Amino acid sequence: MIRFLIFLILAYAAFRVVKAVVWPKEKIIRGPDGGVIDEMVQDPYCKTYIPKREAVRKIIGGETYSFCSEECAKKFESQKGS
Ligand SMILES: [Zn+2]
């Protein structure tokens, strides 16, 4: 019985470690605010609203922007100059 309890504690600890390692990756894929699936973001180039999880994210000049497509990202970047 004690062995079983120790196993449970270890399993829980392992679960927490795995969760801590896996979950932030998931967040990064889905968006910076914790993966709110239906949140909409605006493309700063064409002004279209797109679901955050489908947006093309680019870091331009130290700021993160969300675009509807790679094309808009490139156009916006060249428009910004730098
Ligand atoms: Zn666009």
Task: Please write the tens of the pLDDT for every residue from 32-80.
Answer: 565 545 678 899 999 999 988 889 999 998 999 999 999 999 999 999 8
Q: How far is the CA of 78 from the centre of ligand 1 (A)?
A: 14
- pTM equals 0.52
DSSP designation for 54: G
Q: How far is the CA of 57 from the centre of ligand 1 (A)?
A: 11
* Cα of 41 vs its chain's centroid, Å: 13
Asked whether the predicted pLDDT for residue 16 surpasses 50, the reply is yes
Going 66 to 67 to 70 to 75, the CA torsion angle's sign is: negative
Provide the residue range defining the domain that includes 34: 2-80
* Cα of 33 vs its chain's centroid, Å: 7
Q: How many domains are contained in the chain?
A: 1
Q: How far apart are CA 55 and CA 53, in angstroms?
A: 6
Q: How far is the CA of 11 from the centre of ligand 1 (A)?
A: 46
For residues 53 and 6, which has the higher predicted lDDT (pLDDT)?
6
Residue 25's pLDDT is what? Answer: 44
